[in-house]
């Protein structure tokens, strides 16, 4: 029985980590959208908030989810420029 309880506890912990990861992923996407919009409008922007969340996500270390990449200002600019050509 203790193995069964340990498995249930482990699954619950994995689910909690996954839920936290998903919430951070949504926050990261909103920060990326914000940076893209500012860049499109020609306003200064930073990727600091994006990368803070990215680092938190990568520390969760879910084995079945690839690590998220750090975003640079240049990456955002290249993305925006790819639509204006």
Q: Give the model confidence (pLDDT) of 48-63 as tens digits.
A: 999 999 999 999 978 8
**What does the block give as tokens for 4?**
């069964």
Q: Say whether 65 sits in a helix, a strand or coil.
A: coil
**How far is Cα 75 from Cα 6, in angstroms, rounded to an integer?**
44
CB 54 within 8 A of CB 75: no
pTM over 0.75: yes
Q: Give the model confidence (pLDDT) of 6-48 as tens digits.
A: 888 888 888 898 999 999 999 999 999 999 999 999 999 999 9
**How far is Cα 80 from Cα 39, in angstroms, rounded to an integer?**
7
What ranges in the chain are assigned the alpha helix state H?
Answer: 2-40, 48-60, 73-84
């Amino acid at each position: 029985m203790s193995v069964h309880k340990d498995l249930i506890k482990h699954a619950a912990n994995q689910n909690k980590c996954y839920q936290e990861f998903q919430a951070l992923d949504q926050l990261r996407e909103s920060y990326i959208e914000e940076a893209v919009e500012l860049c499109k409008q020609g306003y200064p922007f930073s990727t600091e908030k994006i990368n803070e969340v990215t680092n938190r996500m990568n520390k969760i270390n879910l084995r079945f989810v690839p690590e998220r990449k750090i975003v640079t200002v240049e990456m955002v600019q290249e993305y925006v420029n790819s639509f204006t050509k």
